[in-house]
Amino acid sequence: MTPALAIRDLRKHFGGISVLTGASFDVMRGSITALIGSNGAGKSTLLNVVSGLLREDNGEIRLDGRNLRGVPAYARARLGLSRTFQLTRAFGSFTVAEAVELAATSPDDERFGRSLMSVFGLGARPVRPTRAILEQCLLERIADSLCGALSYGQTKLLMLAQAIASNGSVLCLDELCAGLEPAVIGHVGQVLRGLASDGKTILFIEHNLQLVRDLATDVVFLHQGKTHREGPTAAVLEDPDVVRLYLGQ
pLDDT in tens, 126-163: 444 578 999 999 999 999 999 999 999 999 999 999 99
> Is-above-0.85 flag for pTM?
yes
Kindly state whether residue 159 falls inside one of the protein's structural domains.
Answer: no
Classify strands 5-14 and 226-232 as parallel, antiparallel or unpaired.
unpaired
Q: At what angle do helices 152-165 and 182-197 cross, to 10 degrees?
A: 0
| Total number of domains constituting the chain | 2
State residue 219 phi and psi, 5-degree precision: -135, 140
> What pLDDT was estimated at residue 117?
47
Q: Are residues 237 and 179 part of one domain? A: yes
Residue span of the structural domain in which 27 resides: 5-88+168-247
Average pLDDT (207-234) is 96
Q: Say if residues 39 and 30 touch (Cβ distance below 8 Å).
A: no
* β-pairing verdict for 201-205 and 32-36: parallel
Residue 128 lies in a domain: yes
The pLDDT tens digits for 42-75 are 999 999 999 999 999 999 999 999 999 999 999 9
Checking if the pLDDT of 116 tops 90, the result is: no
Which of 122, 149, 176 represents a domain boundary (last residue)? Answer: 149
Q: Domain with 201 in it: what CATH number?
A: 3.40.50.300
| Exposure b/e, 191-206, CB count within 10 A at least 16 = b | bbeebbeeebbbbbbb
DSSP for 54-113, please give it. Answer: S--SEEEEEETTEE-TT--HHHHHHHTEEE--SS----TTSBHHHHHHHHTS-TTSHHHH
Going by pLDDT thresholds of 50, 70 and 90, the confidence category of residue 105 is confident
pLDDT of 112 strictly over 60: no
Shared domain for 181 and 234, answered yes or no, is yes
Residues 219 and 235 in one domain: yes
Whether 9 and 84 share a structural domain: yes
176 & 125 share domain: no
Examine residue 198 and state whether it is found in any structural domain, yes or no.
yes
